[in-house]
Amino acid sequence: MIKAVLFDLDGVIVSTDGCHYRAWKRMADEEGIYFDEKINDRLRGVSRMASLEIVLERASRSYTEEEKVALAARKNDYYRDLIRELTPSDILPGAMENLNELKENGILVAVGSSSKNTPLILRRIGLDAFFDAVSDGNNISHSKPDPEVFLKAAEMLGTDPADCLVVEDADAGIEAGRRGGMKTLSVKGAVGADYFAPDLSDYSIFRRIIR
Ligand code: B16
Ligand code: MG
HEC string of 29-53 equals HHHCCCCCHHHHHCCCCCCHHHHHH
Q: Which of 83, 100, 128 is the last residue of a domain?
A: 83
Check pLDDT > 90 for residue 203.
no
Nearest CA to ligand 1 atom 12: 115
Count of the separate structural domains present in the chain: 2
Does the Cβ of 135 fall within 6 Å of ligand 1? no
Residues 45 and 129 in one domain: no
- 3-state class (DSSP) for residue 109: strand
Does the Cβ of 51 fall within 6 Å of ligand 1? yes
Mean pLDDT, the chain, integer: 96
Nearest CA to ligand 1 atom 14: 115
Phi-psi region of 97 (alpha: psi -120 to 50; beta: other; left: phi over 0): alpha
pLDDT, position 184: 98
- The stretch 116-139 carries a mean pLDDT of 97
* 8 assigned to active site: yes
Full DSSP string of 55-99: HGGG-SS---HHHHHHHHHHHHHHHHHHHTT--GGGBPTTHHHHH
Q: Which of 32, 60, 83 is the last residue of a domain?
A: 83
Residues 60 and 109 in one domain: no
Q: What is the CATH number of the domain that holds 132?
A: 3.40.50.1000
Residues 109 and 192 in one domain: yes
Q: Ligand nearest 112 Cα, by number? A: 1
Say which DSSP state 9 is in: S
User: Which residue from 113, 121, 127 has its CB within 8 A of the most atoms of ligand 1, so it is best to mutate?
Assistant: 113
Q: What is the pTM of this model?
A: 0.94
State the distance from the centre of ligand 1 to the C-alpha of 90, rounded, in angstroms.
17
Of 175, 173, 168, 174, give the one whose Cα is nearest residue 200: 168
- 3-state class (DSSP) for residue 207: helix
State the distance from the centre of ligand 1 to the C-alpha of 114, rounded, in angstroms.
5
Query: pLDDT (tens digit, 9 = 90+) per residue, 146-158?
Result: 999 999 999 999 9
Q: How far apart are CA 208 and CA 102, in angstroms?
A: 12
Q: Which residues pair with 197 in a beta bridge?
A: 187
Residues 107 and 78 in one domain: no
State the distance from the centre of ligand 1 to the C-alpha of 170, rounded, in angstroms.
10
Please, which pLDDT band fits residue 204 given cuts at 50, 70 and 90?
confident
pLDDT, position 17: 85
The answer to whether 58 touches 33, Cβ cutoff 8 Å, is yes
Q: How far apart are CA 170 and CA 172, in angstroms?
A: 5
Q: Ligand nearest 111 Cα, by number? A: 1
Ligand 1 atom closest to the Cα of residue 20 is 8
Residues 99 and 155 in one domain: yes
State the distance from the centre of ligand 1 to the C-alpha of 77, rounded, in angstroms.
14
Q: How far apart are CA 45 and CA 1, in angstroms?
A: 26
**Domain span holding position 61:** 17-83
Residues 11 and 97 in one domain: yes
Residues 76 and 144 in one domain: no
User: Which residue from 9, 10, 146, 175 has its CB within 8 A of the most atoms of ligand 1, so it is best to mutate?
Assistant: 10
